[in-house]
Structure formats: structure tokens, C-alpha cells
Amino acid sequence: MKEANRNYTAVGAFVLSMLAALVMWFAILSGAAGSTDRYYIFWDNVMGLKPGTQILFEGYQIGLIESIERSVEADSGGKNYRVEIGVEKGWPIPESAMAETTAPSFLAALVVNIEAGDSETILEPGGVIRSREQADLLSAAGDAMSKISDVLEFVKPKIEEIANSVGSVLNDENAQQLRSMLQTMNSRVKDILSAENAERVKNILTNLNAVSEDVSDLTSGLQTTKAQIDDVIETIQGLIDSHSGDIGHSLVDLHASLETVSRHIDAIAINLEDTTRNANEFSEQIRKDPSVLLRGRNAVDDGAR
């Protein structure tokens, strides 16, 4: 009995440790675990930002965005949104630091990069990091297309002036060929700058921007999941190290119990075989003479004599 109680105690302790590990796992997945310092950044435009977006310091990852809320604080500088970030505890951030959103490449995930600046004074946790507004990809592309259009519009009359000047020097046949070539070039330039092509370019840039945001969401999710899995593995390893002795005793007791069952399994099998044989004989007698159930076997034997 004492051995059975000890087995039950060991198994119960193991189950409780696994439940504790499960609770810690859920705590880690919910973001309750980990030691970080909190800072705040204010922006007018938070397009592409969300909880889980990476925070970089001079290109090195130091944390994630914790939350984004509508700004109601007096120190927001008139900006609309407050972004709360969590960085590695004790990481020094100078007061001159400047935060801005950027993407390492065209299709890379959107991140928040903090430039250190030249100040030697360290910002206290809970402080506000200065920010620089992000540039709009579509607006930048539109400005570039507008500049190209202006250049081409400037070049087009120059081409026509050259054609007219060359026409007065060359003979009629060569001048006509050159004029035809320049007119062809002029028509192709107009085709390039047509409203239909401009709309196509706009659609392409819009689709690329949407793809970039999707890839950003996927990358941020994978980074967060990887960090959480690493924490879970580390926690389980700590539990195994701290309870390895109890688990070893439980396995020894389980082995002893299995050996006991193994020693008695033959006797149990023989008893089951005898019971099965008696049941078969009884059922056969019932089939031959159902009255045995009422009179018993001794009455049947007396009648036979």
C-alpha cells in the first residue's frame, strides 16, 4: 500500500509540473513573460505598423511594438497616434534618438529603425522617442513619374526644333526621313505618357505595396512565433532539469510495477482459460438440457441413476 501511495504521489507531482509548464506556456504566448523597458513614439501616420512590428536600433533588433493607440497626451506634439514599444531591458537609448519607419528592401517587412544621434544623455524608460514621418511609396513614385513627364515635355519641342533646323540644311528626301523618324519618336513618347499607361503603373505600384504589407505581416508573425517557441523550449528544459530526480524515481517505480504485473500474468491467463472452459461446458449443458437452470446438476444425475 505504501508503495502504491508513493507511485500515486510521484505521478501526481509529474502531472502538476506539466500543468505548470502549460500555464507558463500560455503566459509566454500571451506576452506576459519577459522583461522589457517601455518607450513611446508619436506619429501622425501609422500605416503598415501594428503590434509585433520589429524595433531596430541602428539596424539591430531590440524589441517589438506593443500597442498603437489614439493619442490624447499633452506631450504628443500634436501628433495623432501613440505607439508603445518594448525593448530589451537596460538597452541605452540616447535623448537625441530619432525613430522612423523603413523597409530594408522593396518587398521587405516594414520596421521601425531608431538612429542614435550624438547625445550622450540616456533617455529614461517610459520616455518619448522623437520621430520622423514615413514617406509614402505611392506618392514618391507619383512624384518621380511627374518629373519624368516634365522632362519629356521639355524635350519634345526641342526635338521638333531640331527637325525643322535639320530640314533646312538637308535635302528634301533626307529631311523627310529624319522628320518621319522624329515624329515616330514623338508619337511613342505620347504613347508612353498616355493616361492608360499611367493608370497601369499606378495599379502595379498599388499591388506591390499590398504585397509588401502582406510579407511584412508574415515576417512579423514568424519572428514573434520563433521568439515564443524559444522561450517555451527554455522553460520546459528548466522544468526537466529541476525535476529530473522526481521523474527518474517515477520511472523506477513504474518499471517495478510492470515487473510485478509480468510475474503474475501467466497465472491470470491460466485462470481466464479455466473460466472460459467452465463457461463453455456450462453453456453446452444448457443447450442440451435447459432444465438444469432450475433443478441443478445433482437432480439430473439422480434421475439418470
Q: Which pLDDT value is given to residue 233?
A: 85
| Mean pLDDT of all residues belonging to the chain | 77
Q: pLDDT band at residue 293, thresholds of 50, 70 and 90? A: low
Average pLDDT over residues 292-303: 57
Do residues 210 and 107 touch, judged by C-beta distance below 8 A?
A: no
19-23, 38-42, 279-283 — which is least confidently predicted? Answer: 19-23
Rounded Cα distance between 8 and 37, Å, is: 44
**pLDDT higher than 50, residue 33:** no
Q: Which pLDDT value is given to residue 55?
A: 95
Q: Which pLDDT value is given to residue 220?
A: 76
Count of C-beta atoms within a 10 Å radius of residue 135: 10
Q: pLDDT band at residue 304, thresholds of 50, 70 and 90? A: very low
Higher pLDDT, 24 or 35: 35
Rounded Cα distance between 30 and 22, Å, is: 12
The residues spanned by each domain of the chain are 138-217
Rounded Cα distance between 100 and 48, Å, is: 12
pLDDT in tens, 100-114: 998 877 777 789 999
Q: Which pLDDT value is given to residue 281?
A: 81
- Top-confidence range, 136-140, 216-220, 242-246, 280-284: 280-284
Q: pLDDT band at residue 31, thresholds of 50, 70 and 90? A: very low
Percent of all residues in the chain with a pLDDT value above 90, rounded to a whole number: 20
Count of C-beta atoms within a 10 Å radius of residue 272: 10
pLDDT in tens, 44-97: 888 889 999 999 999 999 999 999 998 876 566 678 899 999 999 999 999 999
Q: Which pLDDT value is given to residue 34?
A: 56
Q: Is 57 helix (H, G, I), strand (E, B) or coil?
A: strand
pLDDT in tens, 195-206: 777 788 778 888
